[in-house]
Amino acid sequence: MNLLILLAALLISSQASAWGKEGHELVCAIAEENLTEKAADFVRQTLALGEFLDGNTKNDLASLCTWADKAKYGKYTSTYEAHFLNVPADKNKIDFGRDCAALDCIAVAIQRNLSYLNSPAGSKREKSRKAAALRFLGHFVGDIHQPLHVSNREDWGGNKIRLTWFGEKTNLHKMWDVNLLEKAGLNHPGSLEFLLNQTVDDDQHNVLKWMEESFALSRKYAYLNVENQTLESGDNVGQAYFERAKPIIIQQLTLAGHRLAYLLNALADGSLDTNFLID
Ligand SMILES: [Zn+2]
Rounded distance between C-alpha atoms, residue 241 and residue 236, angstroms: 10
Strand partners, 150: 85
> How far does residue 108's CA lie from ligand 1's centre (Å)?
14
pLDDT value, residue 273: 82
CB 149 within 8 A of CB 18: yes
Averaged pLDDT, groups of 10, the chain, 279 residues long:
46 57 97 98 98 94 92 82 94 94 90 95 97 97 97 97 97 97 97 97 91 97 97 98 98 98 96 72
Give 216-248 as a 3 state SS string: HHHHHHHCECCCCCECCCCCEECHHHHHHHHHH
pLDDT value, residue 77: 82
Class of domain 2-268: mainly alpha
> How far does residue 142's CA lie from ligand 1's centre (Å)?
8
DSSP structural state of residue 255: H
pLDDT value, residue 8: 47
> How far does residue 66's CA lie from ligand 1's centre (Å)?
8
- Residues 104, 262, 115, CA angle at the centre, nearest 5°? 40
> How far does residue 182's CA lie from ligand 1's centre (Å)?
18
Q: Would you mind telling me the total number of residues written for the chain in this entry?
A: 279
> How far does residue 139's CA lie from ligand 1's centre (Å)?
6
> How far does residue 273's CA lie from ligand 1's centre (Å)?
24
* Domain residue spans of the chain: 2-268
Give the global pTM: 0.92
Rounded distance between C-alpha atoms, residue 21 and residue 134, angstroms: 17
